[in-house]
Amino acid sequence: MDAPNEGRAQQPMRVRAKCWTLVCLLNLHRNPLSNGEEVKRTEPLQLSNIRLETERLILRPTRPEDFEGWVTLMGNPESARFIGGVQPRAHAWRTFVTMAGVWAMQGFGMFSVLEKSSGRWIGRIGPWQPEGWPGTEIAWSLIRDAWGHGYASEAASAAADWAFAELGWSEMIHVIDPSNLASQKLAQRLGSTLRGPGQLPPPLQDFPIEIWGQSRDAWEHRRA
């Protein structure tokens, strides 16, 4: 789902991302989409080679050393509010290894976001498509003291470029709680528009959500 709460209004930065070929467990990777279509990959994946860089950030797959940052993210009531609420450390470990497992099983997942100037882990941003999800999502969550610097839009822009180029997505969505005004503003800055109410798969079906999104063509036109 969506997550924080990115404070500073600014246009997404033009990002030059250093992308290498993805790694996969199979030579032909199939990524089932919500509409029944598949994205076929014919090249082998290597997760250790996936790394995106922006002016201020590094994005890469989940690593064990990211756990303490994850605990910080999920332990703060503000940063955890729209991503399931505060989690005790043991619970946070389970969600942390879930993200690592998603990378291993699907060949993509939300990137760990590192601040270049400090090297610290500041959040998770990127492609997200669990079973039954309403679409191919670019999602974001940052630790509380990383809000207000434009990091979410910077990282989300790089992740969207990568998802369209490497995963072959035809669109991206953002699953946002109707009361999460900050994420709504970020979606707008990325060029996405409100498509209406949506529903998550069980057991999350009763959570109120709205779907924001845009097509690949719209994104590429805006980035040109």
Question: What digits encode the pLDDT tens for the residues 11-38?
Answer: 444 444 444 333 333 333 444 444 444 4
pLDDT digit string (tens) for 43-96? 545 888 999 999 999 999 999 999 999 999 999 999 999 999 999 999 999 999
Predicted local confidence at residue 30, as pLDDT: 41
**pTM for the full model?**
0.82
- Average pLDDT score over the chain: 86
Partners of 196 in the beta sheet?
Answer: 211
Predicted local confidence at residue 21, as pLDDT: 34
- Local structure of 5: helix, strand or coil: coil
The dihedral over CA atoms of 10, 143, 213, 35, expressed in degrees to the nearest 10, equals 160
Predicted local confidence at residue 65, as pLDDT: 98
Residue 135 pLDDT > 60: yes
Share of the chain above pLDDT 70, in %: 80
125-to-59, 167, 197 alpha-carbon distances in Å: 8, 16, 22
Name the helix (H) or strand (E) containing 19: none
The dihedral over CA atoms of 107, 202, 123, 191, expressed in degrees to the nearest 10, equals 90
Domains and CATH numbers, the chain: 29-223 (3.40.630.30)
Predicted local confidence at residue 14, as pLDDT: 45
Stretch 187-205: mean pLDDT, rounded?
97
